[in-house]
Amino acid sequence: MEKKLLFGPFAGLLTFKFLKQGSNLDLPKSVKINNIRSLIIVFLKNLPLLIYLIKQSFMNHAARMKQLKFFYEDAIDSDWKLLNAGKRVQIIKYCPFEGSKLEFGTEVIFSKNKTVAALIGASPGASVSANAMSNVLIGMFGKEAQKKLKKIISSFESDLNSSAKKVATFRSRIYKQLGLW
């Protein structure tokens, strides 16, 4: 097995497409009378982020290597190449305290009758997928699902930040179940 070291991410080329094979009209078509105010507010609030992303998008290999060498000074330029890891579209959401704001997380939303759920926002990685799915189950099936999840996942709804001992106990049990210890 060949070992690999990954570094990044760097912001990719800015585009108006929402999907890899989308249309350059995706963003312009999403602008409506009822959301233009929110778009302008989020644009102005996040101007430094936008400038940073534009700079990242136009970095060449040498500039990326310079940043990498800050963390791994023995990196050899020819050993590294840029790979496109994917695409992300952020959510603009209204917050009663901050007004319109850019959301960077993943969120589960439900239809009014709770028969359909959707995952929106940043694509979930392994660290949030289980939590997102448990939110769907509880949101759609209520207390019954909550009780079943508690039976299946012993640490479910436990405050693991409050006790290092509790974390060690759960981790030990999980590692044994997975055959890691």
- pLDDT for 105 equals 72
Neighbours of 161 (CB within 10 A): 8
Calculate the alpha carbon distances from 60 to 57, 66, 73, 141 in Å.
9, 10, 18, 50
User: Which three-class secondary structure state does DSSP give residue 102?
Assistant: strand
Give the separation between CA 158 and CA 143, rounded to whole angstroms: 16
Tokens at 108, concatenated: 């589960």
Which residue's entry shows tokens 């210890």? 181
Partner residues linked to 11 by β-bridges: none
**E strands of 42-128, at which residues?**
91-95, 99-103, 106-110, 117-121
pLDDT tens string for the chain (181 positions)? 677 666 666 777 677 888 778 899 998 999 999 999 999 999 999 898 888 888 888 899 999 999 888 888 899 999 998 877 666 667 788 888 888 888 777 778 888 888 888 877 666 666 677 888 888 899 989 999 999 998 888 788 888 888 888 888 888 888 888 888 6
Contact status, residue 141 vs residue 148, Cβ threshold 8 Å: no
Confirm whether pTM is higher than 0.75. Answer: no
Residues recorded for the chain = 181
